[in-house]
């Protein structure tokens, strides 16, 4: 496995060739780091599941280089999905649409839908463009961590978590810390109106403004399996407790106006909701690195990104 901290055009061409040859490439996005494989190679995608320890029926998101490639992977794209793509791609949003014949069962988890995303990180886009130039169509990429664990927001976190599972021909591309820090909003676009399946930086209000449609309740249509939908997920080794008083020896994640009690180890003190999202996973990983057994988290209030943060924390705390 090669760790590449200086990523040039030549680096991206080499990484694209590695993907075409069946290797895995971990790469940065604006949300979290992804573990990528050729989305049309059953053998390469199987290695993603093996490296992550991921259930075989859990679908993957296909990353594409532009909105123009949606039609290659989707058989039915509603007008409101196109509006969303135009407004928020490249960006932290995944659209779930009816799949075309290109999207096989090993990508969709056997479902008749596929998740598509155009990431905003320049390295991710450069890799996708180099991959297309090499003959590829899309990169399947879940988060680059073991299944159910805390998603990585740096290349070092990917290396720490997955190096024992990756092969010599695999690559990790270092593009610096992820700017958003939470996984993409996932929107079901198979019905008459959008339905949010996973909260993220693209909020309900943004979706409704873009589409002119009211977002339907997540329980108002048949279940679609997507990443991050299990009750227990995004979990560090430490036990996560929400909105309780931290005791001596505990780790603490709380807004900066909350003081740190005596003997408590402060892991994060964000001053904005954006900083809270960006640094949350780094703080949870830091707790494990320091051998902290209990992490107390004071959740942010409010809608939008704050709701997405609470979603991740409640799954991290679930037993």
Q: Over the stretch 159-173, which tens digit does the pLDDT of each residue have?
A: 999 999 999 999 999
Identical fold at 2-211 and 239-317?
no
Domain at 2-211, CATH class: alpha beta
pLDDT band at 192 (very low <50, low <70, confident <90, very high): very high
The predicted pLDDT at position 227 comes to: 76
Are the beta carbons of 202 and 215 closer than 8 angstroms? Answer: no
Please state, as a whole number, how many other Cβ atoms lie within 10 Å of the Cβ of residue 251. 25
**Domain ranges for the chain:** 2-211, 239-317
User: By 3-state DSSP, what share of the chain in percent is helix, strand and coil, each rounded to 5?
Assistant: 30, 20, 50
Does domain 239-317 bear CATH number 3.90.580.10? no
Q: Over the stretch 112-141, which tens digit does the pLDDT of each residue have?
A: 999 999 999 999 999 999 999 999 999 999
The predicted pLDDT at position 220 comes to: 60
CA dihedral 221, 70, 184, 32 (to 10 degrees): 150
| Whether pLDDT at 183 is above 90 | yes
| Whether pLDDT at 231 is above 70 | no
| Whether pLDDT at 50 is above 70 | yes
Q: Over the stretch 5-30, which tens digit does the pLDDT of each residue have?
A: 888 999 999 999 999 999 999 999 99
State the burial class of residue 146 (Cβ atoms within 10 Å of its Cβ: 0-12, 13-18, 19+).
middle
| Whether pLDDT at 307 is above 80 | yes
Indicate the average pLDDT of the chain.
95
């Amino acid at each position: 496995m090669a760790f590449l901290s200086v990523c040039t055009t030549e680096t991206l061409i080499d990484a694209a060739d590695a993907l075409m040859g069946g290797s895995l490439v971990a790469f940065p996005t604006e949300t979290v780091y992804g573990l990528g494989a050729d989305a049309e190679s059953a053998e390469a995608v199987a290695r993603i599941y093996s490296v992550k320890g991921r259930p075989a029926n859990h679908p993957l998101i296909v990353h594409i280089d532009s909105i123009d490639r949606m039609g290659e992977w989707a058989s039915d794209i509603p007008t409101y999905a196109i509006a969303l793509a135009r407004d928020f791609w490249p960006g932290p949003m995944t659209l779930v649409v009816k799949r075309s014949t290109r999207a096989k069962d090993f990508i969709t988890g056997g479902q008749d839908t596929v998740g598509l995303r155009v990431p905003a990180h320049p390295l991710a886009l450069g890799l996708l463009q180099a991959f297309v130039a090499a003959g590829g169509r899309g990169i399947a990429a879940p988060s680059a961590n073991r299944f159910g664990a805390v998603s990585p927001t740096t290349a070092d976190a990917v290396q720490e978590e997955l190096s024992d599972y990756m092969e010599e021909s695999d690559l990790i591309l270092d593009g610096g810390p992820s700017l958003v820090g939470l996984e993409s909003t996932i929107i079901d676009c198979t019905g008459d109106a959008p339905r949010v399946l996973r909260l993220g930086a693209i909020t309900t209000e943004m979706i409704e403004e873009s589409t002119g449609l009211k977002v339907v309740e997540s329980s108002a249509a048949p279940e679609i399996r997507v990443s991050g939908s299990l009750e227990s997920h995004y979990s560090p080794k430490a036990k996560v407790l929400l909105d309780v008083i931290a005791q001596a020896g505990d780790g603490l994640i709380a807004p900066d106006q909350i003081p740190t009690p005596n003997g408590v180890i402060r892991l994060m003190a964000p001053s904005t909701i954006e900083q809270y999202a960006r640094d949350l996973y780094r703080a949870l990983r830091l707790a494990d690195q320091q051998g902290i057994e209990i992490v107390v988290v004071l959740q942010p209030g409010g809608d939008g990104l704050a709701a997405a943060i609470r979603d991740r924390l409640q799954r991290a705390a679930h037993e």
